[in-house]
Amino acid sequence: MNSTKLIDSHVNFGHELLVNSIDKIVKESLDNDIHRMLCINSNLYDFNKDLTLVNNYSCIDISLGHHPNLVDIIDLIEIEHLLELHLNQSKKIIAIGETGLDFYYEANRTKQIDSLKIHFEVASKFKLPVIIHMRDSEEQITPLIKQYRDKVPNILIHCFTGTGEFAKKCIDLDCYFSISGIFTFKKADNLRKTLKILPKNRIIFETDSPYLTPDPHRGKVNYPKYLKIILSKYCDLVSMETKEMSDISNSNYFNLFSINN
Ligand SMILES: [Zn+2]
C-alpha cells in the first residue's frame, strides 16, 4: 500500500484494554498511516475521563453520547442535562453518539427509544451529526431515522451490519455508513453482498477497537492500526485501489462531521 492516509472513525479509547496505552496506540497508528481517530464516548458519566484521555491529541476527535446498552444506569432527564452541559463546555465534540437501539437483548427497549430521541433532539439543537449503534432493531429504528433525518446535519450508521433492504432505506435517507472488520469474518457472506451496494461517497471506516478485530487477527485485541486490513479487504471486495478509496472516505469523514480540512 503506498502511503495512504486513513481515519479510524470509531475507537473506544476509554475501554480498559486501551485506556492505559494511549501514547503507544497513537504512535503505532501514525506509524501505520492512521492519521486521525474518533474517540467514542458511550457513557455520559465517563465523558470527562474520555476527554482528559484524548484532549491533548490533535489527531483525535471526540463524540458525546450514551450507549443503548447502558440506559439502565441513567435517568432520561440526566441524559439531556449531561449532553447539554458537555456541549456547552467542550469545543472538541464533533458528533452526538454513540446512541441507538440494541434489541439483541430484551432489556429496556422503551427507554432506549426515549434516549435515542433525546440524543436526536439535542443534536438538532446543537446542529451536530448523530452516530447510531443498532442491532436487531431495523424495523423500530427506521421511522425514527426518517423522523429526525432533516432535523440533524447527518446520520451515521456505525459498524453497519444491516440487511440489503435496510441499507436501501438508509441510502434513500442519505445516511452515512461506517464499515468495521465484521465483513472479514468467514460467515459474513450476506454482509459482504450488502456492502457492495453502499454508495462510495457515503462510506467511512472504523475498527471499533478494542472489539471486532478483523481476520486474520480475530480473537486478539483490536487497534486502529488494523484499519489498513479493513480498507484493503473492502477494496478487494469492490475491486478498487486503496488509495482512491481512502481519499474518498477521508473526504466523506470531513463532510459528515463538517470539518474544514
Ligand atoms: Zn457500537
Question: What percentage of the chain has pLDDT greater than the value 90?
Answer: 96
Please name the residue that has the C-alpha cell 472538541: 92
pLDDT in tens, 27-39: 999 999 999 999 9
Does pLDDT of 61 surpass 50?
yes
pLDDT for 2 beyond 80: no
CA of 133 to the centre of ligand 1 (A): 5
Grade residue 77 by pLDDT with cuts at 50, 70 and 90. Answer: very high
How confident is residue 3, by pLDDT bands cut at 50, 70 and 90? low
Q: Which of 1-15, 73-87, 101-115, 215-229 has the lowest mean pLDDT?
A: 1-15
| Contact yes or no for 147/166 (Cβ under 8 A) | no
Q: Per the confidence metrics, is the pTM higher than 0.75?
A: yes
What whole-number distance in Å separates Cα of residue 125 and Cα of residue 253? 22
Q: Which domains does the chain have, with CATH numbers?
A: 10-256 (3.20.20.140)
Question: In this structure, what are the phi and psi dihedrals at residue 11, rounded to the nearest 5 degrees?
Answer: -125, 130
- Cα–Cα distance for residue pair 213/1, rounded to 1 Å: 20
On the question of a cis peptide bond just before residue 210, with omega within 30 degrees of 0, the verdict is yes
What is the Å distance from ligand 1's center to 241 Cα?
Answer: 28
Q: Mean pLDDT, the chain, as a whole number?
A: 96
Q: Which residues contact 150 (CB under 8 A, 6 or more apart)?
A: none
Note the pLDDT of residue 107: 77
Q: Is 103 left (phi over 0), alpha (psi -120 to 50) or beta?
A: alpha
Q: Report CA(16)–ligand 1 centroid distance (Å).
A: 16
What is the rounded CA–CA span in Å between residue 11 and residue 37? 7
pLDDT in the model for residue 260: 86
pLDDT tens, residue by residue, 203-253: 999 999 999 999 999 999 999 999 999 999 999 999 999 999 999 999 999
Mean pLDDT over 66-91 rounds to 97
Instruction: Judge whether residue 167 has pLDDT over 60.
Output: yes
CA of 159 from ligand 1 middle (Å) equals 7
Distance 134 CA to ligand 1 centre (A): 7
pLDDT tens digits, 101-149: 999 987 799 999 999 999 999 999 999 999 999 999 999 999 999 999 9
Q: Residue 1 Cα, ligand 1 centroid: separation in angstroms?
A: 29
- How far is ligand 1, taken at its centre, from the CA of residue 98, in Å? 6
Q: Measured in angstroms, how far is the CA atom of residue 160 from the centroid of ligand 1?
A: 9
- 22 Cα to the center of ligand 1, angstroms: 20
> Rounded to the nearest whole angstrom, what is the distance from the C-alpha of residue 136 to the centroid of ligand 1?
13
pLDDT value, residue 105: 86
For residues 261 and 207, the model is more confident at 207
CA of 2 to the centre of ligand 1 (A): 30
